[in-house]
């Protein structure tokens, strides 16, 4: 990477201060480097020139050679438009401008051959083209141009200020002239040789000015591979450095707590997947390095018992442990579940949330510091400065995407040495995404459900089948089961959410009248205490039906609830539908999920509903979701910056991603410090990326 590429964009000929400000604010282009990395969205074939009598009424972008025979101004509702007659040997069409008329009139000459390019429209018996790109044929023939013309990302503001695609192409040409098209190589000879990659300079030239479709695709492959390779290199290096520098507490013995629990109190036989994951965790905990592991498992796959047994290893080695969850309800649920497991072993455990009383807090703080409190479960309240552990050995974080990096590091600093970290998520993350977002964590997956769980039957029903659905609900209630009915939360309008929910509640109340049926209702406008009260009544079996907005998505555990009805299911994302479905099927009875929709469905909605009916595998569902929504949405907005990729697409290019990860691993396996002569190029590129952080902005 030459120093030249760090030159501010203002200095490029043809840019100037005003354009530079716009390029910075609209496209984030600060330097030559940023401009060269502004990759085209698509390409147009400019090899063909159309005759006017060959044009079709299809709004296509075409180029035509001809001459202007005259101009006229036409009055319209607001102001005037400028119209030029344009003809070739086969016919005539009109060129139209709604703004910039004076400049256009002065700069275009009648009778000179021009090449025009733009979208054609058919209007009152004639073709016209509004605001065409236009240049003298003599200039057109002499320009640095390729058969495939690049179309760059743009914004409304840029177009309005006259920075068209043509202007960007021109300044891109200028950049190639100033740098002589010579760019520093970034990959080693051996990788280039094995993958038959073209050079960095050829790749950059052919991405902006492709000489042929074949060279364009080779350029795209080369640049995508490079981008993904350096992301993977960064993540794997981070993990290696982490393991060598950050010493963890070695949990070198498996002792009394673990063995007693395993031999005498284990509530059910562990699945093979749970055993495999426990073994991976045990190796980490005993290895001298700090554990940094992501535990993925579908709803109901038994992550909690794995987390608890990991804590027992901590207690056996004389350490305290904590578990942090994103909401008070979820924390309380974890606490109640763990409390039952702790009782027979005489382990002291407490719960700390925002609503804990002052007297309880004081007691917890005291017992944490003197070491008599062994396990602490809670929300963000665990991060407060007042919360000090005597020796925290293991921190478990549930549903990690709800906690920022800064919050996690706060947990680390509760100790002289950072505790082991286990991050749990019930939102399965597709492999490709996990490799890129959590590439620096080791990943464990629980990919089978405990024995005796019956798969949930999922069906899709239209609104006009509602009476049959009501009858089915009554039959299930008669068998002693309970039912959830969930309404979507539509962010734009709380009024609408509330109205949907209330209308639904009223029609359910008419169909299921008191005193025979009892109904709970939970929604976002209620006070937390009222929500908890209603949830509790449902959990205790005092009400038959729970009507709710999505507040019940994460964590509520009612084994007796066997039916989940999702209203307007087309308004939910796939992972949300999957999470909601996971609220039932927690007991031994057959459970059902009914997706209710109107007949009007988009193609994406149909795909989502078909996927839900067909599959109960969270990982397969996450793959489909990733294809439909893209990575940013899946990670939640606060992490969408994680994969701010310039050219690669993590969904479409997953094969390239796997290759890139394989090569990054191979390089670091032979040469962890990148000190060998053949890796000099890679080391230099990596250092440059760190030096100029703005290039590295896609790593969180």
Residues 6+ apart with CB under 8 A from 360: 350, 352
Average pLDDT over residues 286-297: 87
pLDDT tens by residue, 576-605: 888 888 888 877 789 999 999 988 899 989
545 Cα distance to chain centroid: 34
Average pLDDT over residues 35-54: 88
Average pLDDT over residues 493-501: 62
Four-residue CA torsion sign, 135, 138, 141, 143: negative
Which has more confidence, 58 or 26? 26
Question: Domain holding 88: CATH number?
Answer: 2.40.50.140
Examine the pLDDT at 196 and tell me if it is beyond 50: yes
Examine the pLDDT at 295 and tell me if it is beyond 70: yes
- Does 476 reside within a domain? yes
**pLDDT band at 639; cut points 50, 70, 90:** very low
Residues 6+ apart with CB under 8 A from 658: 432, 435
Which has more confidence, 90 or 653? 90
Is 118:132 a contact under the CB 8 Å cutoff?
A: yes
- Does 19 reside within a domain? no
Residue 697 is predicted with a pLDDT of 36
Residues 420 and 495 placed together within one structural domain of the fold: no
Which has more confidence, 357 or 636? 357
Q: For tokens 């101004």, what's the residue? A: 73
360's tokens: 């309880």
d(CA 237, CA 233): 6
Residues 272 and 413 placed together within one structural domain of the fold: yes
- Please name every residue paired with 129 in a beta bridge, in sequence order, or none if there are none: 95, 120
Q: Is the peptide bond before 515 cis (omega within 30 degrees of 0)?
A: yes
Residues 336 and 466 placed together within one structural domain of the fold: no
Residue 642 is predicted with a pLDDT of 47
- DSSP class of 54: G
Question: Comparing 18-32, 135-149, 506-520, which segment has the lowest mean pLDDT?
Answer: 135-149
Number of helices (H) and strands (E) in the chain: give both, helices first.
25, 21
d(CA 670, CA 655): 23
Residue 637 is predicted with a pLDDT of 38
Parent domain of 538: 457-615
- Does 100 reside within a domain? yes
- For the chain, give the percent of residues with pLDDT over 90: 48
Q: Which of 331, 402, 197, 10 is nearest to 206 (CA)?
A: 197
From the number of C-beta atoms within 10 Å of its C-beta (0-12, 13-18, 19+), residue 170 rates as middle
Is 638:217 a contact under the CB 8 Å cutoff?
A: no
Which of 144, 178, 197 corresponds to the end of one domain? 144
Which has more confidence, 330 or 190? 190
Residue 214 is predicted with a pLDDT of 87
Contacts 24+ apart (CB under 8 A), 249-252: 249/317, 249/319, 249/393, 249/417, 249/419, 249/420, 250/285, 250/286, 250/287, 250/288, 250/317, 251/285, 251/286, 251/313, 251/314, 251/316, 251/317, 251/319, 251/393, 251/420, 252/286, 252/317
Average pLDDT over residues 238-254: 82
Helix (H) or strand (E) segment spanning residue 472: helix 466-478
Residues 421 and 462 placed together within one structural domain of the fold: no
Q: For tokens 């359910």, what's the residue? A: 508
**pLDDT band at 462; cut points 50, 70, 90:** very high
- Does 452 reside within a domain? no
Residues 6+ apart with CB under 8 A from 72: 82, 83
291's tokens: 């554990």
Q: For tokens 């804590």, what's the residue? A: 311
Q: Is 523 helix (H, G, I), strand (E, B) or coil?
A: coil
Residue 100 is predicted with a pLDDT of 85
pLDDT tens by residue, 659-669: 999 999 999 99
Average pLDDT over residues 338-345: 95
Residue 527 is predicted with a pLDDT of 82
224 Cα distance to chain centroid: 19
First to last CA, the chain: 23
Average pLDDT over residues 278-285: 94
Residues 6+ apart with CB under 8 A from 382: 322, 324, 352, 376, 411
Residues 420 and 471 placed together within one structural domain of the fold: no
Residue 370 is predicted with a pLDDT of 94
**pLDDT band at 636; cut points 50, 70, 90:** very low
Q: Which of 327, 380, 377 is nearest to 550 (CA)?
A: 327
Length, in residues, of the chain? 700
Residues 384 and 494 placed together within one structural domain of the fold: no
473 Cα distance to chain centroid: 37
Question: Comparing 401-410, 428-437, 519-528, 592-601, which segment has the lowest mean pLDDT?
Answer: 401-410
Average pLDDT for the chain: 86
Q: Which of 651, 570, 636 is nearest to 608 (CA)?
A: 570
Dump the DSSP string for 580-644. Answer: HHTTS--SSS--EEEEEE-S---HHHHHHHHHHHH---HHHHHHHHHHHH-HHHHT-GGGGGGG-
Residue 359 is predicted with a pLDDT of 93
- Does 512 reside within a domain? yes
d(CA 396, CA 335): 13
**pLDDT band at 2; cut points 50, 70, 90:** low
Examine the pLDDT at 167 and tell me if it is beyond 60: yes
Residue 631 is predicted with a pLDDT of 61
pLDDT tens by residue, 118-135: 889 988 888 999 999 899
- Does 669 reside within a domain? no
Q: Is 155 helix (H, G, I), strand (E, B) or coil?
A: coil
Question: Domain holding 339: CATH number?
Answer: 3.40.50.300
- Please name every residue paired with 87 in a beta bridge, in sequence order, or none if there are none: 67, 92
Is 376:394 a contact under the CB 8 Å cutoff?
A: no
Question: Comparing 427-431, 520-524, 633-637, which segment has the lowest mean pLDDT?
Answer: 633-637
Four-residue CA torsion sign, 24, 29, 31, 32: negative
Residues 6+ apart with CB under 8 A from 252: 286, 317
Question: Comparing 252-266, 326-340, 412-426, 474-488, which segment has the lowest mean pLDDT?
Answer: 412-426
Residue 696 is predicted with a pLDDT of 35
Of 491-500, 507-516, 519-528, the range with the highest mean pLDDT is: 507-516
Average pLDDT over residues 93-116: 92
Residues 611 and 478 placed together within one structural domain of the fold: yes
**pLDDT band at 553; cut points 50, 70, 90:** very low
Residue 643 is predicted with a pLDDT of 58
- Please name every residue paired with 457 in a beta bridge, in sequence order, or none if there are none: 592
Which has more confidence, 67 or 249? 67
Which of 87, 120, 144 corresponds to the end of one domain? 144
Residues 503 and 608 placed together within one structural domain of the fold: yes
Residue 282 is predicted with a pLDDT of 94
Residues 390 and 532 placed together within one structural domain of the fold: no
Q: Is 128 helix (H, G, I), strand (E, B) or coil?
A: strand
- For the chain, give the percent of residues with pLDDT over 70: 91
Alpha helix ranges (H) inside 516-602: 528-539, 574-581
Residue 15 is predicted with a pLDDT of 93
- Does 375 reside within a domain? yes
* Largest CA-CA distance found in the chain, in angstroms, rounded: 97
Q: What is the bridge-based pairing of β-strands 349-352 and 148-151?
A: unpaired
Question: How many alpha carbons lie under 13 Å from residue 428 in its C-beta half-sphere?
Answer: 26
- Does 209 reside within a domain? no
The pTM of this model reads 0.67
Residues 367 and 466 placed together within one structural domain of the fold: no
Residues 416 and 463 placed together within one structural domain of the fold: no
- Please name every residue paired with 595 in a beta bridge, in sequence order, or none if there are none: 460, 566
Is 426:579 a contact under the CB 8 Å cutoff?
A: yes
Q: How many domains does the chain have?
A: 3
SS (H, E, C) 227-272: HHHHHHHHHHHHHHHHHHHCECCCCCCCCHHHHHHHHHHCCCCCCH
Question: Comparing 276-280, 315-319, 453-457, 612-616, which segment has the lowest mean pLDDT?
Answer: 453-457
Is 390:249 a contact under the CB 8 Å cutoff?
A: no
Residues 271 and 413 placed together within one structural domain of the fold: yes
Which of 587, 615, 643 corresponds to the end of one domain? 615
Average pLDDT over residues 506-531: 87
């Amino acid at each position: 990477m030459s120093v030249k590429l760090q030159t501010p964009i203002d200095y490029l000929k043809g840019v100037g201060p005003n354009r530079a400000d716009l390029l910075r604010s609209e496209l984030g282009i600060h330097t030559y480097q940023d401009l060269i990395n502004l990759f085209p969205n698509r390409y147009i074939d400019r090899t063909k020139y159309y005759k006017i009598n060959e044009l079709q009424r299809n709004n296509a972008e075409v180029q035509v050679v001809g001459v202007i025979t005259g101009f006229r101004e036409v009055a319209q509702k607001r102001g005037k438009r400028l119209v030029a007659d344009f003809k070739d040997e086969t016919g005539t069409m009109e060129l139209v401008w709604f703004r910039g008329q004076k400049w256009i009139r002065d700069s275009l000459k009648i009778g000179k051959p021009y090449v025009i390019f733009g979208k054609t429209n058919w209007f009152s018996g004639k073709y016209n083209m509004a605001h065409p790109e236009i240049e003298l044929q003599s200039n057109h023939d002499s320009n640095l141009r390729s058969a495939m013309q690049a179309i760059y990302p743009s914004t409304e503001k840029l177009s309005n200020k006259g920075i068209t695609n043509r202007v960007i192409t021109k300044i891109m040409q200028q950049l190639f002239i100033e740098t002589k098209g010579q760019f520093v190589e970034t990959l080693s000879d051996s990788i280039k040789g094995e993958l038959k990659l073209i050079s960095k300079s050829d790749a950059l030239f052919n991405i902006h000015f492709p000489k042929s479709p074949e060279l364009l695709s080779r350029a795209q492959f080369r640049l995508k591979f490079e981008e993904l390779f350096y992301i993977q290199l960064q993540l794997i290096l981070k993990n290696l450095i982490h393991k060598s520098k950050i010493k963890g507490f070695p949990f070198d013995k498996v002792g009394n707590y673990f063995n007693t629990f395993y031999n005498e109190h284990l509530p059910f036989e562990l699945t093979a997947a749970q055993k495999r994951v426990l073994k991976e965790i045990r190796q980490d905990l005993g290895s001298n390095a700090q554990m940094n592991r992501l535990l993925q498992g579908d709803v109901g796959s038994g992550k909690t018992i794995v987390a608890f047994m990991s804590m027992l290893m901590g207690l056996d080695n004389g350490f305290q442990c904590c578990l942090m969850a994103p909401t008070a309800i979820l924390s309380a649920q974890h606490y109640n579940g763990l409390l039952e497991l702790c009782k027979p072993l005489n382990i002291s455990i407490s719960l700390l949330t925002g609503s804990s009383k002052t007297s309880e807090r004081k007691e917890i703080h005291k017992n944490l510091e003197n070491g008599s409190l062994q396990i602490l479960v809670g929300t963000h309240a665990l991060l407060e400065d007042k919360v000090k552990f005597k020796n925290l050995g293991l921190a478990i974080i549930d549903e990690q995407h709800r906690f920022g990096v800064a919050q996690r590091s706060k947990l680390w600093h509760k100790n002289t040495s950072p505790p082991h970290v286990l991050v749990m998520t019930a939102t399965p993350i597709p492999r490709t995404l996990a490799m890129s977002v959590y590439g620096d964590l080791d990943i464990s997956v629980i990919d089978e459900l405990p024995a005796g769980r019956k798969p949930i039957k999922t069906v899709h029903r239209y609104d006009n089948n509602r009476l049959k659905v009501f009858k089915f609900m009554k039959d299930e209630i008669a068998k002693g089961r309970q039912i959830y009915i969930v309404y979507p939360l539509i962010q734009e309008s709380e009024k609408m959410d509330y109205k949907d929910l209330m209308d639904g509640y009223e029609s359910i109340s008419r169909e299921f009248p008191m005193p025979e049926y009892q109904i709970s209702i939970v929604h976002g406008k209620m006070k937390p205490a009222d929500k908890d009260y209603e949830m509790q009544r449902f959990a205790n079996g005092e009400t038959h039906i729970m009507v709710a907005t999505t507040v019940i998505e994460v964590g509520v555990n009612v084994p007796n609830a066997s039916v989940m009805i999702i209203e307007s299911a087309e308004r939910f994302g796939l992972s949300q539908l999957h999470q909601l479905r996971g609220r039932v099927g927690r007991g031994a009875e057959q459970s059902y999920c009914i997706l209710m929709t109107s007949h009007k469905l988009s193609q994406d909605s149909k795909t989502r509903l078909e996927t839900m009916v067909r599959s109960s595998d969270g990982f397969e569902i996450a793959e489909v979701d990733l294809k439909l929504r893209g990575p940013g949405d899946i990670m939640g907005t606060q992490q969408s910056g994680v994969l701010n990729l310039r050219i690669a697409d993590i969904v479409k290019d997953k094969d390239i991603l796997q290759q890139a990860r394989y090569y990054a691993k191979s390089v670091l396996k032979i040469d962890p410090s990148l000190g060998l002569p053949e890796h000099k190029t890679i080391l230099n590129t990596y250092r440059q990326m760190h030096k100029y952080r703005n290039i590295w902005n896609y790593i969180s």
